[in-house]
């Protein structure tokens, strides 16, 4: 299968620096951008025009609502699919089925679902969710059982987390969205093998990632031998015409980090019960971020050729960044595809400019190699 490429909508904010200001003392010039619909539309149109298949539209306490934003942007794009992040348990599966049906109709079938069970207990508590890690995945299992039953017709269901009597969608769309399920724990893999069209995990050095995908593939074949599971991963990217220019950008990111913010971020990450977050932390040697960031250089955080962990010093979530020339980045993406990755979600900093760097510099090389599939055709009935 050829590779499908996705970009990222920065619903949590955007700018040239991770910390938001130039200068480690916190009194530097503000470098964040106004997060309004005009800017998000620029990012979405850039991804649409450059040939990305879709955009990941994230969910979180500090994000704009992904359903509202994606619905607005569907009217301003032609082919772009919206991979909306969904937290099971915060809304009923029947309501989500209705929302999916509406979005499919008004967008011309451009919805994808990214099911995120959640790995930050503090954020879960702020939403009123107090289940532990494995219980959350049990709830996700029930949620997706009900959702797929609704998509198939009428459902009655009684479980530990959901009870639905006579559930149905009055106006089903022509096609339901594909389901992406993420997570690295045994509980996440179990749910993905039962319900997902695409299994997602955060990127790691290719041998580690290939081992994880192989483990999930074997389990999926045992759980559902008549269904073929696809695989995807998530990365940041810094790509330039010359490798030294890309690494200069990476070094600039480190120069503007406040050591105190790095230490605070490490404490938050240590409190996470996410297996993926634990695997990200394990890529560091345990010393980065405990002293002055001026002692760090980008090359010191390179864990494999062109795979850099600088963003994860301060940002929770996927921690690997592809850094290098367009040819080097295309080489690494080709290796990811050879390792079994069929769906690749990328993000950059800032997202508008990096979408063009990737779209103009990397995607043509992947097309020449036959790695990248053609962009999805224009869909009938798109827009609102």
Give pLDDT, residue 375: 61
SS3 337: helix
Percent of the chain at pLDDT > 90 equals 66
Greater pLDDT, 344 or 1:
344
Give pLDDT, residue 161: 96
Greater pLDDT, 186 or 293:
186
- Give residue-wise pLDDT tens across range 48-105: 999 999 999 999 888 999 999 999 999 999 999 999 999 998 999 999 999 999 999 9
Which residues contact residue 313 at a Cβ distance below 8 angstroms, ignoring those fewer than 6 apart? Answer: 254, 257, 262, 265, 266, 288, 289, 293, 301
Greater pLDDT, 193 or 316:
193
Ranges 9-18, 140-149, 220-229, 270-279: which has the least confidence: 270-279
CA 235/CA 225 separation, integer angstroms? 30
Give pLDDT, residue 254: 82
Ranges 26-30, 204-208, 283-287, 302-306: which has the least confidence: 26-30
Average pLDDT value over all residues in the chain: 87
Give pLDDT, residue 146: 97
Q: Please check the confidence at residue 381 and state whether its pLDDT lies above 60.
A: no
With CA atoms as reference, report the closest residue to 50 among 84, 79, 9, 12: 79
The arithmetic mean of pLDDT across residues 365-379, rounded, is: 79
First to last CA, the chain: 32
The arithmetic mean of pLDDT across residues 352-381, rounded, is: 85
Q: Give the CA count within 13 Å in the CB-facing half-sphere of 354.
A: 26
- Put simply, whether the predicted model's pTM sits higher than 0.85 gets the answer yes
- Give yes or no for a contact between 86 and 196, defined as CB atoms under 8 angstroms apart: no
Residue 223 CA: distances (Å) to CA of 137, 196, 216, 341, 351? 17, 12, 10, 20, 38
Q: Would you tell me how many other CB atoms lie within 10 Å of the CB of residue 19?
A: 21
Q: Please check the confidence at residue 26 and state whether its pLDDT lies above 50.
A: no
Q: Please check the confidence at residue 149 and state whether its pLDDT lies above 50.
A: yes
Q: Would you tell me how many other CB atoms lie within 10 Å of the CB of residue 29?
A: 9
Give pLDDT, residue 168: 95
Q: Please check the confidence at residue 165 and state whether its pLDDT lies above 50.
A: yes
Give pLDDT, residue 176: 98
Give pLDDT, residue 279: 58
The arithmetic mean of pLDDT across residues 223-250, rounded, is: 94
The arithmetic mean of pLDDT across residues 346-373, rounded, is: 96
The arithmetic mean of pLDDT across residues 246-263, rounded, is: 80
Give pLDDT, residue 34: 79
Instruction: Identify the CATH class of 4-237+324-368.
Output: alpha beta
Which residues contact residue 182 at a Cβ distance below 8 angstroms, ignoring those fewer than 6 apart? Answer: 114, 115, 116, 117, 188, 192, 199, 200, 201, 276
Q: Please check the confidence at residue 310 and state whether its pLDDT lies above 90.
A: no
Give pLDDT, residue 263: 67
Q: Would you tell me how many other CB atoms lie within 10 Å of the CB of residue 95?
A: 9
Give pLDDT, residue 226: 86
User: Tokens at residue 197, please?
Assistant: 């069209």
- Give yes or no for a contact between 383 and 80, defined as CB atoms under 8 angstroms apart: no
């Amino acid at each position: 299968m050829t590779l499908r490429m996705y970009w990222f909508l920065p619903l949590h904010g955007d700018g040239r620096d991770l910390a938001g200001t130039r200068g480690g003392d916190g009194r530097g010039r503000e470098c964040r951008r106004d997060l309004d619909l005009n800017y998000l539309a620029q990012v979405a149109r850039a991804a649409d025009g450059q040939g990305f298949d879709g955009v990941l539209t994230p969910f979180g306490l500090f994000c704009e609502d992904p359903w509202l934003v994606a619905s607005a942007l569907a009217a301003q794009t032609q082919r772009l699919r919206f991979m909306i992040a969904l937290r099971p348990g915060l809304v009923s599966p029947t309501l989500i089925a209705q929302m999916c049906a509406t979005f499919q109709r008004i967008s011309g079938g451009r919805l994808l679902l990214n099911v995120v069970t959640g790995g930050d207990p503090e954020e879960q508590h702020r939403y009123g969710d107090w289940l532990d890690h494995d219980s959350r995945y049990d709830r996700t299992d029930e949620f997706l059982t009900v959702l797929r039953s609704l998509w198939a017709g009428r459902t009655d269901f009684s479980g530990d987390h959901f009870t639905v009597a006579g559930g149905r969608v009055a106006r089903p769309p022509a096609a339901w969205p594909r389901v992406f399920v993420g997570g690295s724990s045994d509980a996440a893999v179990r749910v993905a093998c039962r319900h997902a069209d695409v299994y997602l995990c955060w990127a790691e050095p290719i041998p580690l990632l290939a081992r994880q995908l192989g483990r999930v593939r074997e389990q999926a074949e045992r759980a559902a031998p008549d269904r073929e599971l696809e695989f995807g991963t998530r990365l940041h990217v810094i790509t330039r015409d010359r490798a030294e220019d890309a690494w200069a950008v990476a070094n600039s990111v480190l120069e503007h980090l406040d050591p105190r913010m790095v230490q605070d971020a490490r404490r938050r990450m240590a409190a996470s019960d996410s297996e993926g977050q634990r695997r990200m932390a394990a890529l560091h040697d345990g010393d980065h971020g405990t002293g002055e960031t001026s002692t760090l250089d980008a090359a010191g955080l390179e864990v494999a050729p062109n795979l850099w962990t600088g963003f994860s010093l301060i940002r929770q979530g996927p921690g690997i960044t592809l850094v290098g020339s367009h040819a080097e980045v295309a080489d690494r993406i080709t290796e990811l595809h050879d390792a079994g990755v069929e769906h690749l979600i990328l993000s950059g900093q800032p997202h508008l400019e990096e979408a063009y760097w990737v779209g103009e510099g990397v995607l043509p090389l992947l097309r020449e190699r036959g790695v990248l599939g053609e962009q999805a055709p224009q869909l009938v009935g798109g827009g609102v």
